[in-house]
Amino acid sequence: MKAHLITYGCQMNEYDTHLVQSQLVSFGADIVDSVDEADFVLINTCAVRGKPVDKVRSVLGDLRKQKQKRPLVVGMMGCLAQLEEGQQIARKFEVDVLLGPGSLLDIGQALESNERFWGLQFKDELHGHIPPPPAGRLQAHLTIMRGCDHHCTYCIVPTTRGPQVSRSPDDILRELDLQLAAGVQEVTLLGQNVNAYGVDGGARLAGYPSFADLLRLVGQSGVRRVKFTTSHPMNFTEDVAAAMAETPAVCEFVHLPVQSGSNRVLRRMAREYTREKYLEHIAQIRRHMPHAVLATDIIVGFPGETEEDFADTLSLYDAVGYDSAYMFIYSARPGTPSYKHFQDLPREVKTERLQRLIARQKEWSNRKNAEKVGTVQEVLLRGDAHESGFLEGHTRGNHPTVVPKAVGADGAGIVQVRIEHATPHMMYGRILGEGGQPLPELPRFTPESSALSSPLQMA
């Protein structure tokens, strides 16, 4: 079998894709780079917003046409597959295999079946499964929990991924050991709400550390860099900030979704905290890490949001000063309380507010990134950038960074970089040698210079 996987959505979906891909390889499948090469195409779906659902419909429509011309098995997995909406889409587009987020290990049984296979049960064995580490990767994701016990009125995740189930610390550390042996230098701990790790259904699990103590354990493993996503402010504790500050491997980057700066909107969202409590958490983070890099999520135009509510969100930006943010207009999702009970705002109102929010975030990102000019940052280089002659990577604070290729520097790995220029979305610098001086740049070529007699002619 030749299999091709397409992934939409969050980092958890990326992790799940790797898990299923490793299962397919163990069954003897070849993973190919394009749909045209494949006889099995599996789409990992997202259901948080309407846009990724529309993308899935489009891809499935194209695949249905291909099925009419050649033998092709089509599968759908992920959050959308768990919903009635997704199952209706699967029927319409003649999907052969349907796997919910809790049934990923059923992929072998699904492919052995001679008829349509739908696996939508949450299986306990999934939480103890340890996939092999990704080959040739310096970064890796590591799931520490699945599901969520919160019920925000806009969120479909508790329906698609079920209640919170924390993974055992032994399984987490065993998978981490495999990743480190494979050369991973940066690991991101994943969960719908990592702060609640070890407290499932409101009860502390015997023998499970708190999330703060798990950070300390992971940070002592020998890994170079540790990050985590995502956090719910309701479960954030000052001990997490203290653990980050005490553990050198843990990066000083905190993604703490606020969703709105208005207490009235937060209540309608059922977020379980106030603006004031959220700002207390920001103060705790900065007390332990004065230079912490802060990111957030914002939903603009939630049902009932007034201009005054939106002004509260803008003022929260000025109170916090975020380095970056994921900003979205509210997308009504079938099956959520807000979809059932609240009247959506006109799209033009939501779009106009989003543009204002983006402008405010751009101001803060520009200001924050400009402060990094002249500083030395630790950058994990991932490889070639889109522009020839340059490498791309990211700092401990998750800032995308581009550097010219340099003599004596590998194309991937952790290096020291002096930042020389910054925009709201990117930082540019030069790789430093052991003495703190920039390494000589390798020549960069243009079509004109490549025709010159000397191969070292610089552009």
Is 251 annotated to bind a ligand? Reply is: no
**Which residues have a Cβ under 8 Å from the Cβ of 5 and sit 6 or more positions away?**
17, 20, 21, 31, 41, 42, 43, 44
**Which residues have a Cβ under 8 Å from the Cβ of 344 and sit 6 or more positions away?**
303, 330, 332
Residue 295's H or E segment, with its range, is: strand 293-300
DSSP class of residue 48 equals S
- Residue 419: both structure tokens together: 């930042």
Q: Alpha helix (H) ranges present in 131-248?
A: 157-161, 169-181, 211-219, 238-246
Q: What is the DSSP string of 425-436?
A: S-EEEEEB-TTS
Residue 377's H or E segment, with its range, is: strand 376-384
Is 148 annotated to bind a ligand? Reply is: yes
CB atoms within 10 A of CB 50: 12
Task: Give residue for tokens 């912490």.
Answer: 292
The three-class DSSP label of residue 74 is strand
Task: Give residue for tokens 């490498």.
Answer: 391
CA 213 to chain centre: 22
Could you tell me if 350 and 322 are in contact, meaning their C-beta atoms sit under 8 angstroms apart?
A: no
Return binding residues. 10, 46, 79, 148, 152, 155
Binding residues for [4Fe-4S] cluster: 10, 46, 79, 148, 152, 155
